[in-house]
Structure 1
Amino acid sequence: MMRNPEQTIGNLIDKQGVAFISSVDEEGFPNTKAMLPPRKREGIKVFYFSTNTSSMRVQQYKSNPKACLYFCDKRFFRGVMLKGTVEVLEDKESKEMIWQEGDTMYYSKGVADPDYCVLRITIHSGRFYSQFKSEDFNV
């Protein structure tokens, strides 16, 4: 059993260059895609990602807010799956909170670009895999 899940999982997450995020499509099937790491996180409870408002994934989250995040440390063959719900945030404060220099490469109109939004994912539970064992936990 993990002594400090937030620290153990947080350290794993912070060292990864990619995050896998899943949504549920209109037929009820999971859809997974690789994304850049979260722009911000609050422990292992809340994660913030930037994305395009016009994306298929945003439309799926608006229809069904269930989501899954997965982070994998391939060097030590361990990973964590986090389950929760997504809010699509389009307010100025949320967008400014995670805006980074160079984001105009993705959102040419800057922080006010209507095709720029924030995914706020609130986690309720997860499953950690390490040393050939899995462990469920609540957040």
Structure 2
Amino acid sequence: MRDAEKTIGNLIDKQSVAFISSVDYEGFPNTKAMLPPRKREGIKYFYFTTNTSSMRVAQYRENPKANIYFCDKRFFRGVMLKGTIEILEDNTSKEMIWREGDTLYYPLGVTDPDYCVLKFTAQTGRYYSNFKSEDFVI
């Protein structure tokens, strides 16, 4: 694919939902819809907000393997990125993606112990468009 980072980045930036998967304690995939990443660096690094006390965080602490998926339903195309998740709880990371209104989810503010950042690092991907799929390495 020519200019994969630009094509995939544009697709990602236009989505209002991200699908994120973890592996549970029995080895099964668990997928959930989340708000889109608060920040991305190319198509390699993605930053999401979540609750430290969540089941998903517990799963990532046990097994950091993950994937994220973005779907453009209008044009029936999508991208799956495979990689790993880190749980970031330092103030610098939390402040980096904090937004006004986040106290709705984290009432104690940016230092709320139940607020953390999921940093996804992509290693490979698969892009689907025009009735064909293409694998790529990041």
- Using the size of structure 1 for normalisation, the TM-score is 0.99
Give 2:68's aligned residue: 69
Report the alpha carbon displacement of residue 39 of structure 1 after superposing the two structures with TM: 0.2
Report the alpha carbon displacement of residue 79 of structure 1 after superposing the two structures with TM: 0.2
Looking at structure 1, the residues matched to 58 and 2 of structure 2 have their Cα atoms a distance apart, in angstroms, of 38
Structure 1: runs of 5 or more not aligned: none
- Using the size of structure 2 for normalisation, the TM-score is 1.00
Looking at structure 2, the residues matched to 12 and 92 of structure 1 have their Cα atoms a distance apart, in angstroms, of 30
Looking at structure 2, the residues matched to 87 and 43 of structure 1 have their Cα atoms a distance apart, in angstroms, of 17
Aligned pairs, number: 138
Give 2:28's aligned residue: 29
1:50-105 CA distances to partner (integer Å, 9 max, x unpaired)? Answer: 00000000000000000000000000000000000000000000000000000000
Structure 2 SS opposite 1:17: coil
Give 1:104's aligned residue: 103
Structure 2 SS opposite 1:117: strand
Within 5 Å, which residues of 2 pair with 1:1-139?
2-139=1-138
Report the alpha carbon displacement of residue 121 of structure 1 after superposing the two structures with TM: 0.4
* Identity across the alignment (%): 78
Structure 2: runs of 5 or more not aligned: none
- RMSD of equivalent CA atoms: 0.3
Name the aligned partner's letter for residue 104 of structure 1.
T
Name the aligned partner's letter for residue 90 of structure 2.
D
Would you identify which runs of 4 or more consecutive aligned residues in structure 1 move more than 2 Å?
none
